[in-house]
Amino acid sequence: MKVELKNRTKKFAVDCWRLCIDFPLSREYNAYCNQLIRCSSSVGANYRAACRAKSTADFINKLKIVEEEADESMYFIELLLAVSNKEHIEMKRLFGEANEILSIVVASIKTMRNRKS
C-alpha cells in the first residue's frame, strides 16, 4: 500500500503539471497553475516524508500536511474549472483523484489516532 500510494501521489503531481502546460501563459492563469503545481507536488513529497516518520505522532503530523495539500490542490482545480473554457474532463478526473487521496489520508490519520488511544 505504501509503495502504491507513493506512486499514485507522484502520478497526481505529474498529471497536474501536464494539465498546467495546456493553459495560456498569462499572469492570471500562472497564479493558479503555479499554486496547483506546488500543492500537488507537495502531496507526494510530504507523503514520502510521512513514510520516514520517527514516531506515530510524527507520522500523523506529516499526514496532516498531506491532507492540507490535497485539499488545497482540489481548491485550485476548482478555480481552474471555474475560469477555464477548456475541456473539463481531465480537471474533473484530477479533482476526483485528489479527493480519493484525501480520503485515504484522512482514514489513515483516524486509524493511527485510534491506535494511539
d(CA 43, CA 65): 8
pLDDT band at 116 (very low <50, low <70, confident <90, very high): low
pLDDT at 102 over 90: yes
Q: Residue 1: what pLDDT?
A: 75
Q: 54-71 as b/e, with b when 16 or more CB fall inside 10 Å? A: eeeeebbebbebbbbbbb
Question: What's the pTM?
Answer: 0.93
Q: Which CATH superfamily is domain 2-116 in?
A: 23S rRNA-intervening sequence (1.20.1440.60)
pLDDT at 117 over 80: no
Percent pLDDT > 70 in the chain is 98
pLDDT band at 8 (very low <50, low <70, confident <90, very high): very high
d(CA 103, CA 36): 19
d(CA 13, CA 94): 10
Cell of 103: 480520503
